[in-house]
Amino acid sequence: MKYLKPILMVLLMVVSISSCNNKKSDAALAIYQCPMLCEGDKTYIEEGSCPVCKMDLKLVEEQASEKVTSNEISEESIFNLTSKWHTEEGTKIELKDLKGKTLVMVMIYTSCKAACPRLVADMRNIEAKIPKERLKDLNFILVSIDPEVDTPERLKAFAIENLMDDAHWTFLQGTESGVREFANVLSVKYKEISPIDFSHSNIISVFNTEGELIHQQEGLGVDNAETVEAILELTK
């Protein structure tokens, strides 16, 4: 019994030291950063204010949580559409699988001899004006309005023939109903006028990474300066 008191005192000291160390460890896990990023990616392990703009430093964990919240799909997003599609590679996807990149979209059909070649040229012209380092953040999407003829194999051949087989080009074949639904969202009108020919709108649409429509370019061979500017703004 005479040794019990000293032993208890030693145990209390150990627990106290352990508790202090845990608090220090917890504090070290809290990383702070200026919300305005005045010093770039520089971070701090203690609360305080930015030495440049004097704003209070913000927990990096809180910033990460805000990013997760912002990833929710809005009511205006095309990613709400549940239609199924096949890429030129034969992969089955939904539109939400395209999330995370700026999308430049146009609706064509591969057997077209009039407007579609011009639309393809317009898409290539837009691509040429985008700095190469930004192409990784872009996806140029060509959606067929003739899914019966434009199989994934045909779309793949068309992509190769038109030098549009790089990673930032995607061709989509859907169902008749899926294509019609998507065209309505883009305000694209099309009508079959013969077994191998369609009349259709000539519209190139730009969507942000959340699938929200930001800009549309209508016409053939038109000045695409505003379209390019919209894309650069979204990928900066």
Does the pLDDT at position 9 exceed 80? no
Non-local (6+) Cβ contacts of 97 within 8 A are: none
- Flag the least confident range among 39-43, 163-167, 220-224: 39-43
Highest mean pLDDT pick, 36-40, 196-200, 209-213: 209-213
Strand 102-108 vs strand 138-144: parallel, antiparallel, or unpaired? parallel
* Proportion of the chain above pLDDT 70, given as a percent: 82
The stretch 55-78 carries a mean pLDDT of 67
Q: For residue 93, give Cα distances in angstroms to 7, 31, 170.
A: 67, 38, 11
- Please state whether the predicted TM-score (pTM) of the whole model is above 0.85: no
**Are 110 and 149 in contact, with CB atoms under 8 Å apart?**
yes
149 or 68: whose pLDDT is higher? 149
The stretch 168-192 carries a mean pLDDT of 94
Confidence of residue 106 (pLDDT cuts 50, 70, 90): very high
Angle, alpha carbons 73-179-159 (nearest 5°): 95
Strand 169-173 vs strand 190-194: parallel, antiparallel, or unpaired? unpaired
> Mean pLDDT score of the chain, rounded to an integer?
84
The stretch 23-48 carries a mean pLDDT of 68
Residue 12 pLDDT: 44
Candidates 72, 92, 76; CA nearest to 84 is 92
